């Protein structure tokens, strides 16, 4: 997920009625800088594949979208959506952004995992930004829903929509609660999804301010908990980190939805970035030098059944 000439994928998530389609229409109307295509992805895994609606800048519909040369192969590494996007880019090589609207009633994590394709596949498109839309005026009720919370935890950009229907106090409360399950997301406020659209096209993926914190947190909302760890790991190599994170995500009876970290790896010259969604994760080098000869790693985990003790045990065990 770094800066390249690849086509950038922007994923819009958010509950039904949060303003995703309004935002899409607004983007297509006001933006004139980029070549943009749109996928309205109103199918879910359970429903099987239905042709999603795909339109370009001029509103032309590509209905041949799912006639794939490589469709439906039993052991294909790439999922349907990514294959479709790749095929689309071959047909329209000038496309700079593809905006995908996710299903308002579904957990977007499987779609996110699919769009977060392996580096080794060398695909012409990459997931750049996840925008989470929130209908601020319904926040209190929706926050009770697990599916709503799952739609928010992955966002890089959180759009507090329907500002006009809220009191100032409500907004402050919403911001506070969002910080618990998505402390990393950048907050924007809007009425009818009208925002400075450059903030979407030029959103910085890695907003690592969260890692400036020094102390350990544990907070819980409903059944979703957040842990922030600041831990000295002078003797863990990159390969050992891979195994430890694998244990956390695959072996223990935890349900980790999101994991993010800045890791100190023994014998390396730079810090490493950890990114993970459910059972998929990646540890890659950053260009950040190791600060003050310190061997501190910082990890943020959002999920269920997680406790600080369990996580620490996995990291510090041999």
Partner 1 sequence: MDSAIGSYICQTIDCSKPATLQCPTCIKMSLAPAYFCDQECFKRYWPIHKTYHKKQEEQDDQKNKFKFTGPLRPGKISARLFVPDHIKKPEWYLSGQPTEEMKSKLQQVVDCKTPEDIQKMRECAAIGRGALDAGHAAVKAGVTTDEIDKIVHKYIIDHDAYPSPLNYNGFKKSLCTSVNEVICHGIPDDRPLENGDIVNLDVSVYFKGFHIDLNETYFVGEVSESSKFLVEKAYTCLQKAIEICKPGTMYRDVGNVIEKYITENGLAVNRTYCGHGVGQLFHCAPTIPHYGKNKAPGFMKVGHTFTIEPMINQGTHQDILWTFDNWTAVTADGQRSAQFEHSILITEGGCEVLTARLPTSPPLDFKI
- Closest CA relative to residue 140, chosen from 221, 195, 224: 221
Q: Does 145 participate in binding partner 1 (rule CB under 8 A)?
A: no
Return d(Cα 112, Cα 180) in angstroms, integer.
21
What are the start-end ranges of the H helices in 121-273? 139-142, 146-153, 168-181, 198-201, 238-246
**C-beta of 27 vs 256, nearer to partner 1:** 256
Structure token pair of residue 264: 């100190």
Q: Does 282 participate in binding partner 1 (rule CB under 8 A)?
A: yes
CB-CB contact of 83 with 69 (8 Å): no
Q: Does 47 participate in binding partner 1 (rule CB under 8 A)?
A: no
Q: Does 6 participate in binding partner 1 (rule CB under 8 A)?
A: no
Among 134, 249, 306, 311, binds partner 1 (CB under 8 A): 249
Return d(Cα 105, Cα 94) in angstroms, integer.
32
Q: Does 3 participate in binding partner 1 (rule CB under 8 A)?
A: no
Among 63, 146, 279, 285, binds partner 1 (CB under 8 A): 279
Q: Does 176 participate in binding partner 1 (rule CB under 8 A)?
A: no
Bridge partners of residue 216, in order along the sequence: none
Smallest gap from Cβ 119 to partner 1, in A, equals 4
**C-beta of 117 vs 193, nearer to partner 1:** 117
**C-beta of 174 vs 299, nearer to partner 1:** 299
Q: Does 77 participate in binding partner 1 (rule CB under 8 A)?
A: yes
- Closest CA relative to residue 150, chosen from 187, 218, 104: 104
**C-beta of 122 vs 269, nearer to partner 1:** 122
Q: Does 48 participate in binding partner 1 (rule CB under 8 A)?
A: no
Structure token pair of residue 230: 């600041």
Long-range contacts made by residues 44-48, C-beta under 8 angstroms, separation at least 24? 44/103, 44/105, 44/106, 45/110
Q: Which stretch binds partner 1 (CB under 8 A): 76-84, 94-102, 136-144, 145-153?
A: 76-84
Return d(Cα 188, Cα 133) in angstroms, integer.
10
Smallest gap from Cβ 30 to partner 1, in A, equals 36
Smallest gap from Cβ 247 to partner 1, in A, equals 8
């Amino acid at each position: 997920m770094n800066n390249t000439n690849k086509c950038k994928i922007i994923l819009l998530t958010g509950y039904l009625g949060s303003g995703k389609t309004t935002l899409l229409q607004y983007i297509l109307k006001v933006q004139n800088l980029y070549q943009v295509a749109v996928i309205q992805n109103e199918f879910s895994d359970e429903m099987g594949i239905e042709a999603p609606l795909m339109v370009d800048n001029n509103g032309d519909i590509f209905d041949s979208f799912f006639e794939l040369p490589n469709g439906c192969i039993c052991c294909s590494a790439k999922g349907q959506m990514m294959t479709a996007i790749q095929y689309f880019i071959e047909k329209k090589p000038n496309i700079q952004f593809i905006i995908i609207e996710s299903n308002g009633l579904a957990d977007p994590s499987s779609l996110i995992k699919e769009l977060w394709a392996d580096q080794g596949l060398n695909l012409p498109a990459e997931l750049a930004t996840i925008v989470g839309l929130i209908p601020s005026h319904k926040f209190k009720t929706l926050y009770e829903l697990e599916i709503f919370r799952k739609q928010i935890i992955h966002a890089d950009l959180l759009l507090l929509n329907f500002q006009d229907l809220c009191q100032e106090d409500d907004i402050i409360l919403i911001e506070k609660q969002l910080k618990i399950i998505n402390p990393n997301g950048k907050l924007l406020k809007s009425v009818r999804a009208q925002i400075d659209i450059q903030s979407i096209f030029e959103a910085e993926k890695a907003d690592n301010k969260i890692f400036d914190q020094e102390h350990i947190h544990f907070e819980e909302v409903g059944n979703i908990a957040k842990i922030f760890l600041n831990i000295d790991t002078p003797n863990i190599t990159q390969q050992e980190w891979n195994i430890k994170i694998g244990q956390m995500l695959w072996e223990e009876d935890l349900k980790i939805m999101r994991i993010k970290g800045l890791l100190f790896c023994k014998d390396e010259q730079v810090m490493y970035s950890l990114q993970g969604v459910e059972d998929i994760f990646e540890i890659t080098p950053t260009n950040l030098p190791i600060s003050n000869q310190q061997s501190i790693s910082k990890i943020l985990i959002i999920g269920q059944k997680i406790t600080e003790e369990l996580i620490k045990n996995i990291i510090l065990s041999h």
